[in-house]
Structure 1
Amino acid sequence: MSNVSQRLDLRQSQNLVMTPQLQQAIKLLQMNNIELAEYIEEELEKNPLLEKGEPETQTSVEGEGDTTAAESSAPERDAMESGFDENWTGNEADTPSSTAASAGDYTGADVYSGTGAGGRSNFENDENSLENTLTRDKTLREHLLEQVAVDTSDARDRMLAALLIDQLDETGYLREGAETLAERLGCPLDRMQALLARLKKFDPPGIFARDLSECLALQLDDLGQLDQPMRILLQNLDKLASHDYDALARACGVNETYLRDMIDDIRALNPRPASSFDHFVVQTVIPDVAMRPIPKSEGGGWRVELNNDALPRVLVNQSYYTTVAGQAKSRQDKDYLSAQMNAASWLVKALDQRAKTILKVAAEIVEQQNAFFLFGIEFLQPLTLKDIAEKIEMHESTVSRVTTNKYIATPRGIFEMKYFFSTALVAADGTSHSAEAVKAKIKTMIDAEKSDAVLSDDAIVDALKAEGIDLARRTVAKYREGMNIPSSVQRRKQKKNSGPA
């Protein structure tokens, strides 16, 4: 007879409990400075114990020698910092009052000192509601970045492309010339010119044009209508504006009827390619962090500073709390004041930790990409979120939140911090897809199609979207043509002529 035994296993496990306080901390971390300012204004309206303070003096991290390392002893980790980097239990996270007395105010001027002290956060299972609060229709910027992710595999070109996207004006034009951009970014002119040529083939047609004439030319070229007479017409748009049709007809070498057809073709175009995206709004980028060189006489390197103008300063009004708390009679009033004090103190603490984390991540990015800042885009180093996370002893998800929609002002321009990562620009589903991989998918789909179900480019777009790859139809057409695959109309004719397999 076999022995049957029973035993009771007692196991201790620690799970991340998504408390309201931790949700708030995560939400604040991923906000850009505009969203943060709006959020704080709302909190100031809701909580009578909060008040706005004035920005304080600049806070900086100084590097040593020719690098950007910031070496000093790490501060003791408080409850808020632990909340970012460690798994919280319910009991630990539900006691914000323990930090209330020391919360004081958020100055926006805390110094990053050192590399942290252990612990990693684990936010892979964030509640969907946090992400849903930031969902919205696709912007032009996102639409273009998705095309960059698929079209461009070189990290340096990706970074350049992302920067150029941020240089577009409200019409979708890139006014600055290739020579100026190349010089400022330390980029060879031929690389910049080649990249611009690719970007000008992106959707929507006409994007990245330098002026109206080029914008119209790009759209006409996309339609196969950019012949020599049309080129001449685009060079004489001033005459078109003055209705000097006789002079235009002579210049283009066409009769008046043909000229009017050409003009009708132009009027059917979109002179403002960015206008098709309702969410494209031009606004001045306010950097969260700035870096500047330290004179060699002072040791050299870089000084990385928080931009306090982008960091609202929030205070807890202790004197007002003391006054009203002394007047509170009912248990309901006392509970309300206690809750408001805890909420105010926690917000101050969360803002303080947000600033420290941004500065810590920015300082490490500057350290890792020192050669880029010194010598230009050709010296951009391969870098991943994991590289930074391991250096500063934080979780990758925390670094990801910090680097998204946060900007750093550098001697070479203002960059979103995620631009410095090789894998930062990804497709719609969050997965990085190379152009070669997408082309292979398209070819596989076409190879498998039947004679009575030939796939149009639109059908291929839908099929790719079902796999999380969101591409414009003209991008699919470009890839198909690049593989010398005929259009769906031509393929249908070929299959019909060849008969059943």
Structure 2
Amino acid sequence: MKLGVSLRTSQNLALTPQLQQSIRLLQLSTLEMQQEVEQMLDENPFLEVQEEGAEAEEFGVERADTPISTGDRVLERDEQSRVGEESADNPAAETAEFESGPTDWDGDGTSDLSPNDGEWGGDAPGRGSGQADDDVDAADINSAHISLTDFLHTQAGEFFLSAVERSALDFLIESLNEDGYLEDALEDLALPLARNMDEVDELLHHFQMALNLLHTMEPAGVGARHLAECLQLQLRALQRSEEYDGDMALLDLATQVCAQPLELIARRDIKQLCMATQASADQMREVLLLIARLEPKPGRRFADVDRNIIVPDVIVRPAKRTTGNREFLVRLNPDVMPRLRVHDVYANAMRKSHGGPELQQRLQEARWFIKNIQQRFDTILRVSEAIVERQKDFFIRGEMAMRPLVLREIADELGLHESTISRVTTAKYMDTPHGTFELKYFFGSGLETDSGTSTSSTAVRALIKQLIAAESPQKPLSDSKISDLLKDQGIECARRTVAKYREAMRIAPANLRKSL
């Protein structure tokens, strides 16, 4: 074996903690970013929320490391002496914020304040509203969300049950999914709770009694194991209801239909259903209309709709028309921009006492976090402005005027990597005159036309939706017919492509759209 020394050159990319944080913040959604800000505020004593409506300083990312001016230093010394007088009676209050341990943050070691330390996101409201906890509006309490489990537990309290029976009922209520279905079999629920087979049989008995009771509770259909049982429970509730003034024989027939394979109901196969139930075609049409009015998800109305509210990151509105061309203003949503700043008191105290490297890392971490937050929103704004410029026809005439657009076009225009554009457009939303859309919505492939140009797949989807909305309910358009109509308008779109777009828009096929 021969030993030797050789010299080799190579290139590699090292991601610093600052760059890693910048990439991570860029791909976070608005809710995830707010959670990240909350966590950083709890962990870093140098970071605070600017509560007052002070006017924000004018600065950019490129000035993040600019030293403060002499005038600002004089103001800082005055502020330091004032705070020192106020905290003279309680010197431990100021030092308590420094008890959190340092993180492994490779900063540059500097502790000078920069314009970024003062404030960022000045147009956005602070995290706290200044309202005391006991000053809660009564209307807010009355309109508080009630979950399905809370609603069922309230009903369970009205029954005269033993402790064991109440425990079994509560256990089943907590085992329901958000749609109100009991997905687990009673045996699967009883086995982990029992120590022997005798206890399993006893638990199964209590669970079955509790399930029978659960099936009588509101909303009708709750506790069903599958869709057919859910529909049958709702039909039984109608039979018991004093408010129902319809034909009871029709309810009995509907119960028989729900006992048949659900594929027949989904396909509206009247012939097969009539053969199975010995009913007439007219009766079967009335039964299918009745079943269509039932609720397949009993827990739907208890869903927390506030969780599904989309808060846009960018707002686009028409500008005042000074010329014949339509222009649009693109701005960030101030409600999602956190107002962050470095805590002046702690930063000044550390500068005066020449704090150790651990505190300097904490300060540098706060400064880099503010800078990365600003850079995140700056990038979102730049990408949004480029999208609006490329898709101006959409903002004027709607989705029918959408143009083909790919990520690479925006990346080349802004000098960014395609992966960066992908991160920016994921889980970020834009509020437009035509509704709120994810930024990815404005990107789509193109389909060839007879004129040699291409049209966006989004525009083709909108055209398909328009054709289906205008079809005859008695004779809906098939996918092949829609493909032919698109060809008549100069758009080459195969039948399978039409079916794919239709399914993506959650539109039923022609046989299910046909009116009874």
TM-score, normalized by length of structure 2?
0.44
Which structure has the higher relative contact order (CA within 8 Å, separation 6+)? 1
